[in-house]
Amino acid sequence: MKTRLIYFIASVALLGTEILIGLYAHGWIRNYLGDVLVVVLLYTLFRTVSVQKPKGWYVLPTAILVFSFGVEFLQLWGFCDRFGITNRLLRVIIGTGFSIVDLICYSIGILPCYAAEYFRILKNREG
- Centre a 10 Å sphere on the Cβ of residue 126 and count the other Cβ atoms it contains: 6
Spell out the SS3 assignment of 79-110. HHHHCCCCCHHHHHHHCCCCCHHHHHHHHHHH
Give burial (CB, 10 Å; 0-12/13-18/19+) of 102: buried
Of 53 and 24, more confident:
24
pLDDT per residue as tens digits for the range 42-52: 999 999 998 77
The yes-or-no verdict on residue 1 having pLDDT over 70 is no
| Residue 34 contacts residue 106 (beta carbons within 8 Å) | no
Residue 127 confidence (pLDDT): 62
pLDDT per residue as tens digits for the range 49-107: 987 777 788 999 999 999 999 999 999 999 999 999 999 888 888 888 999 999 999 99
How much is the average pLDDT of 14-31? 91
Of 121 and 10, more confident:
10
The upper half-sphere exposure of residue 109, i.e. CA atoms within 13 Å in the direction of its Cβ, equals 25
d(CA 53, CA 35) in angstroms, rounded, equals 25
